[in-house]
């Protein structure tokens, strides 16, 4: 069965428009409470990022859950992976995250974790959607859930992050610039790196409800790149709004994306004899990553875009490491979902163990020039399948032959068609991407 409301990462949209409005989210909370409280009382954790709309959505979700008989713990602004961790360690039945990740403040979304801190299985999402089709009925007063605030959530999560590196690991003598994107990491990430000994300079840590991801964070790393060079820092770390994506910047201002971070972690773990199996990427992962891992005899597989698909591939193969160029990095031996702080610490562990600057850890990997053009269209899925675009793609693939590849797909989170072209010649790659974007916008 196809899902009506759930996308690849929960339910997301423009605030005030269906489904991200108070009426639907009240019913959503009730439906989730019904599903998880069927066998008696249920405990649900709710966290959020720093968007102004989070207050509104938090209150209606709480009301819906309580009206279905579920008990609720509210933890306020916290990174998405922190919700997954707390759901698991507090033995809650489910976790709810109110966030639209890297999107602007006027978008928001609702995503869920099960009791193990994993994304919900398809069958549970379908069960929730089935409840949404029913008439909303409040349980009797004696069965109403209770709501309380969890006050020590930040401290619990900070200790968890520090525990993902070996005892004795230290960042003393290292100057690090953190860009928290005015998002959910603003009050926890600086403490993690400071308590591990780093000299930390923090930017993007003054959220006002409207400035999340606005000209900062992993979606706008130019600010961090300039800051690292200006302050002569050893490196910079950029998070996205909900703390599940990360980019790094080396001392020269060079940006390192998710593919490069995955390579550093994989090579380090292999050298230490700690790499279990291979690495999972997506269809968007740079071909240079695949070639570099092959040189190290590390198996590599590709999945559809989305960290849930990478997670599935890792679990099916018994592997632990994977992710996306966009900065989702999965270390399943440490966390059940992509965790930006944990991933950054794993890269820094490779730096401290080797004693080498971060750029030297990338000597074995050369990324192919890759151009991504985002085309705003009303129906990205329909445009992706239109005949003129299909013909143009076939023609350009013949031009590239074995020197590159083309991927055109509809975004799972925004009304965008993503046109990606990869090859040896950067000018040719850019030209092909622009031509395909023109066809998509004007002939489909």
User: Which of the residues are catalytic?
Assistant: 101
d(CA 36, CA 202): 40
**Residue environment code for 399-429, b if the CB has 16+ CB neighbours within 10 A, otherwise e:** ebeeebebbbbbbbbbebbbbbbbbeeeebb
Q: Tokens at residue 208, please?
A: 């006002």
Nearby residues of 334 by Cβ (< 8 Å), 6 or more positions away: 164, 342, 346
CB 276 within 8 A of CB 320: yes
How, if at all, do strands 235-239 and 246-250 pair? antiparallel
Q: Which of 298, 303, 177 is nearest to 247 (CA)?
A: 177
Residue 228 near residue 253, CB atoms below 8 Å: yes
The answer to whether residues 310 and 278 touch, using CB atoms and an 8 Å cutoff, is no
How far, in Å, CA of 47 to CA of 59, rounded? 11
Burial of 434 (0-12, 13-18, 19+ CB in 10 A): middle
DSSP string, 110-168: EEEEETTSSBPPHHHHHHHHHHHTSPP-PPPGGG---EEE-TTHHHHHHHHHHTTS-TT
């Amino acid at each position: 069965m196809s899902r009506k409301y759930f996308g690849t990462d929960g339910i997301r949209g423009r605030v005030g428009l269906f489904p991200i409005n108070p009426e639907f989210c009240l019913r959503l909370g009730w439906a989730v409470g019904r599903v998880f409280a069927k066998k008696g009382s249920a405990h649900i954790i709710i966290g959020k990022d720093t968007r102004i709309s989070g207050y509104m959505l938090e209150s209606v979700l709480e009301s819906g859950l309580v009206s279905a008989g579920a008990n609720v713990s509210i933890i306020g602004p916290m990174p998405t992976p922190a919700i997954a961790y707390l759901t698991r360690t507090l033995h809650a039945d489910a976790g709810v995250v109110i966030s639209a990740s890297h999107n602007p403040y006027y978008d928001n979304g609702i995503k869920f974790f099960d009791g193990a801190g994993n994304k919900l299985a398809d069958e549970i999402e379908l069960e929730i959607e089935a409840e949404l089709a029913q008439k909303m009925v409040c349980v009797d007063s004696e069965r109403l859930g209770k709501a309380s605030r969890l006050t020590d959530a930040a401290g619990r999560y900070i200790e968890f992050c520090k525990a993902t590196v070996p005892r004795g690991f230290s960042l003393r003598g290292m100057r690090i610039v953190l860009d928290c994107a005015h998002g959910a990491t603003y009050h926890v990430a600086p403490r993690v790196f400071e308590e591990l000994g780093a000299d930390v300079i923090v930017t993007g840590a003054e959220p006002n409800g409207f400035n999340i991801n606005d000209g900062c964070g992993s979606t706008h790393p130019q600010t961090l790149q300039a800051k690292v060079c200006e302050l002569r820092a050893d490196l910079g770390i950029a998070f996205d709004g909900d703390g599940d994506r990360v980019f790094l910047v080396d001392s020269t201002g060079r940006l390192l994306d998710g593919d490069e971070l995955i390579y550093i972690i994989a090579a380090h773990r292999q050298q230490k004899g700690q790499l279990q199996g291979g690495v999972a990427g997506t269809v968007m992962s740079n071909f240079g990553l695949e070639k570099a891992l092959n040189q190290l005899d590390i198996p590599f597989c590709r999945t559809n875009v989305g960290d849930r698909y990478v997670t599935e591939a890792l679990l099916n193969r018994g592997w632990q490491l994977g992710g996306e160029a966009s900065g989702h990095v999965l270390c399943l031996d440490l966390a059940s979902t992509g965790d930006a702080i944990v991933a950054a610490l794993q890269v820094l562990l490779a730096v401290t163990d080797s004693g080498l600057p971060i750029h030297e850890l990338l000597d074995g990997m050369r990324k192919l020039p890759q151009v991504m053009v985002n085309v705003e269209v009303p129906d990205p899925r329909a445009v992706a399948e239109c005949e003129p675009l299909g013909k143009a793609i076939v023609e350009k693939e013949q031009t590239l032959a074995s020197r590159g590849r083309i991927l055109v797909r509809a975004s799972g989170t925004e009304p965008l068609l993503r046109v990606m072209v990869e090859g040896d010649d950067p000018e040719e790659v850019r030209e092909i991407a622009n031509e395909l974007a023109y066809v998509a916008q004007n002939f489909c």
